Amino acid sequence: MNNKFATKLINNGNDKCKFTGALSVPIYQASTFHQEDIDNSPEFEYSRSGNPTRKALEETITYLEGAERGFAFSSGMAAIASVLTIFSAGDHIIASQDIYGGTYRVSTSIFNRLNIDVSFVNTNNLEAIENGIRNNTRALFLETPSNPLFRITDIKKASEIAKKHNLITIIDNTFMTPYLQRPIELGVDVVIHSATKFLGGHSDVIGGVVAVKGETLANRVYTIQNSFGAILGPLDSWLLLRGIKTLKVRLDYQQKNAVKLAHWFREQPEIKNVYYPGLEGHDGYEIHRNQADGPGAVLSIETVDREITRRFLKKIKLAAVAVSLGGIETIASYPYKMSHGSMPKHVKEELGINDRIIRFSAGLEDCDDLIEDFKQALRG
Ligand SMILES: Cc1ncc(COP(=O)(O)O)c(C=O)c1O
């Protein structure tokens, strides 16, 4: 049955206990499993290799992304680093230039030491992707919309280029979630999420998930998950399963708030730029509209003056000033020092990530209250 997304969140085969009918998958808080017959390996033998609660989450993300198999890791970064570990010394990867700061750091401070070379190109420019491909290029790593400036890459066209050159296409789909963007339908092979964000949705768990198209590729990721062992624990897997059930209602409301905030910010004299794929005129607006079902609940503003940015972050009362996004509460973050703090200053400046930018993840508050609060914080 081809159910709609809201139904899939609730009816996905992992919404009930198979043994008792309980409307919640049990938390199998166990490291190991009794083996009746040592000649025949049971499905679960040791929780690094497989755990029933984690499996329920892995199957859920597989289903929602339309993939063949899914894997859950102890953080979004553990998921990203584990996926990059399927490559070997001498391999080259092309990545979007304004990728999440942690992905930039792991690539430039760890994988480069292992002789896996990641080069950063402007993936919104398809020609730049094509020109960046070398004989040893093995993968294309995309993030769209990018963070914090929401640059848009055409997923379908970029993965067509990758296919033509036998590259694996990987995407960080954290900002969109499978509700708004399903990259596998557009030709992507591996979808990664920081599940810490919208999938968990309550700012109470750190986790990462990966959905893979194709058994051969999935086996490569499983080998790393089992060998490297950066797995998600049973309680955290359960928290993500619970969070995912309300993904659509949360994101619908949060997205509405984000749209309202983006339009309001655009009218304020203290604001120079609003970056949000839901605003007509945003670079890549049409491409995003064609490949995603909504602009999401995260936006950035650039004030006219660094002092206004600093004052705003000091004076806001209704939004937390914090790293992260995707929770039920509105979060204001300062990418220059937070998500992109690990990028060298000159790289940030080249990319336009300056010290006047504030990124907002819209929460579930009443937007009128947020606007009142933001008004007083802007005006000081
Ligand atoms: C787009 C994106 N990818 C990956 C990560 C890393 O995820 P985690 O913090 O769960 O390790 C983050 C975290 O902020 C992110 O925003």
Write out pLDDT tens, residues 94-121.
999 989 999 999 999 999 999 999 999 9
pLDDT value of position 157: 98
Take atom 16 of ligand 1 and give the residue whose Cα is closest.
Answer: 100
pLDDT value of position 1: 65
Whole-angstrom distance, CA of residue 259 vs CA of residue 278 = 7
317 Cα: distance to centroid of ligand 1 (angstroms): 25
- Mean per-residue pLDDT for 300-329? 97
- Mean per-residue pLDDT for 6-29? 94
pLDDT value of position 15: 86
pLDDT at 342 over 90: no
CATH class, domain 247-379, is: alpha beta
Share of residues in the chain with pLDDT > 90 (%): 94
Whole-angstrom distance, CA of residue 339 vs CA of residue 191 = 20
Give the residue extent of every domain in the chain.
5-243, 247-379
Q: What is the DSSP string of 315-364?
A: H--SSEE-S---SSS-EEE-TTTTTTTTS-HHHHHHHT--TTEEEEE--S
pLDDT value of position 341: 86
pLDDT value of position 339: 84
pLDDT tens, position by position, 41-91: 899 999 999 999 999 999 999 999 999 999 999 999 999 999 999 999 999
**Using an 8 Å Cβ cutoff, are 148 and 279 in contact?**
no
**Would the CB of 208 count as within 6 Å of ligand 1?**
yes
**Would the CB of 203 count as within 6 Å of ligand 1?**
no
241 Cα: distance to centroid of ligand 1 (angstroms): 18
- Mean per-residue pLDDT for 13-17? 89
Q: Where do we find the tokens 């033509």? A: 164
Length of the chain: 380
Q: Which of 100, 146, 151, 210 is the pocket-test mutation for ligand 1 (most atoms within 8 Å of CB)?
A: 100
DSSP letter for 179, please. H
**Would the CB of 339 count as within 6 Å of ligand 1?**
yes
283 vs 2, which has greater pLDDT?
283
Q: Does the fold of domain 247-379 match that of domain 5-243?
A: no
pLDDT at 243 over 70: yes
Return the ligand 1 atom nearest residue 174 CA. 1
Which CATH architecture describes the domain 5-243? 3-Layer(aba) Sandwich (3.40)
Q: Catalytic site residues? A: 48, 100, 172, 197
28 vs 98, which has greater pLDDT?
28
pLDDT band for position 352 (cuts 50, 70, 90): very high
pLDDT tens, position by position, 247-261: 999 999 999 999 999
Average pLDDT of the chain to the nearest whole number: 96
**Would the CB of 199 count as within 6 Å of ligand 1?**
no
